[in-house]
Amino acid sequence: MTVELSNADAEDILSAEEAAGELARLTENVEKVFLGKEQVVRWTIASAVAQGHVLLEDVPGVGKTTLALAMASSLGLEFQRIQFTSDLLPGDILGVSTYSTKSGEFTFRPGPIFSGLVLADEINRTTPRTQSALLEAMSEGSVSVDDETRPLPDPFLVIATQNPLDHHGTYPLPESQLDRFMLRLSIGYPGTDVERSILLSRRFSEPVSHLQPVMDATRLRVLQRTAAEVRLDESVADYILKVVEATREDSRVRIGISTRGALAVVRAVRAIALMEGRNYVIPDDAREMFIPCLSHRLSLQSGHQDRAAAEAIIETIVSEIEIPV
């Protein structure tokens, strides 16, 4: 089985089997240090292949940083962690121009955003102005400083975190900014057996510090191009549209899913299909990705960001729509 090509260069496209094999090795490598959360790893890798960003919403200490480090190490990407605080400024993320008395010129010093994978830790603890600086970079793939546009690395991935329980001194992301994330995921606590294994095996150093890459940025770009060529049948596209349109008509929803949200599902399901060794999407791929792709994009009539309520609405809508054969 080979991927059907459109205008893509055949040399830049893998067969579905080759791509699935490489993604399986990537998954196995990440799971060496991030234990017991296969679905979270699967969806995070799918987001990277689909050129999307991930929001990890969970309590401290469940492995969010470990997952980000494992992804960066496994993909061979430069990694930067930005600790978001109330006094963080846009320039601390994007970079600044400094004046040199020797040359008499301004020199741009890139900020940590100029990295292959950026961990935006506790993104809801900084001001909306600083949040917007990051989210604009995520959307555009470039930053504008001193009237000059500078491209970010390719690939460029952001894994952001926020604590959903601690609201003191935080600035919740509005729906328009949440929309920039392809997926919102929750890690949760590990199972008892996995946690026991962690306690017994952990010594002085973090296992992720010894993790070796299984691919590089060039190979990830090839996988991203391969995923973009995965075939999406009209029946699956119609299925996705029915779910999206149903959110716009639901009385519990103030603003339904946008076209950007529908496109995010399409990109995600193509990556999921590729991970399964297929060059075509099936309805079950969409069914798997509706909640992580769409629930954070809903604006509820209550006016509150209620994750459980949003996920319940998506689940109800999906259950009422017939899955195409």
CATH number (domain holding residue 224):
3.40.50.300
Same domain (yes/no): 67, 145: yes
Peptide bond into 207 cis (omega under 30): no
Residue 7 lies in a domain: no
Residue 201 lies in a domain: no
Domain that holds residue 49: 13-191+215-229
Same domain (yes/no): 322, 238: yes
Same domain (yes/no): 187, 237: no
Whether 55 and 184 have beta carbons less than 8 Å apart is answered as yes
**What is the C-alpha to C-alpha distance for residues 62 and 58, in angstroms, rounded to an integer?**
8
Specify the pLDDT at position 31.
95
- Last residue in a domain, options 201, 229, 257: 229
For the record, the structure tokens of 105 come out as 């010129």
Residue 210 lies in a domain: no
Residue 203 lies in a domain: no
Residue 2 lies in a domain: no
User: Domain count of the chain?
Assistant: 2
Whether 141 and 153 have beta carbons less than 8 Å apart is answered as no
Specify the pLDDT at position 190.
86
Strand intervals (E) in 95-188: 95-100, 105-110, 117-121, 142-145, 148-151, 157-162, 183-185
**What is the C-alpha to C-alpha distance for residues 6 and 306, in angstroms, rounded to an integer?**
41
Could you tell me the maximum CA-CA distance found in the chain, to the nearest angstrom?
Answer: 70
Same domain (yes/no): 153, 272: no
Specify the pLDDT at position 197.
86
Write the pLDDT tens digit of every residue in 52-96: 999 999 888 888 999 999 999 999 999 999 999 999 999 999 998
Q: What predicted TM-score, i.e. pTM, was given to this entire model?
A: 0.91
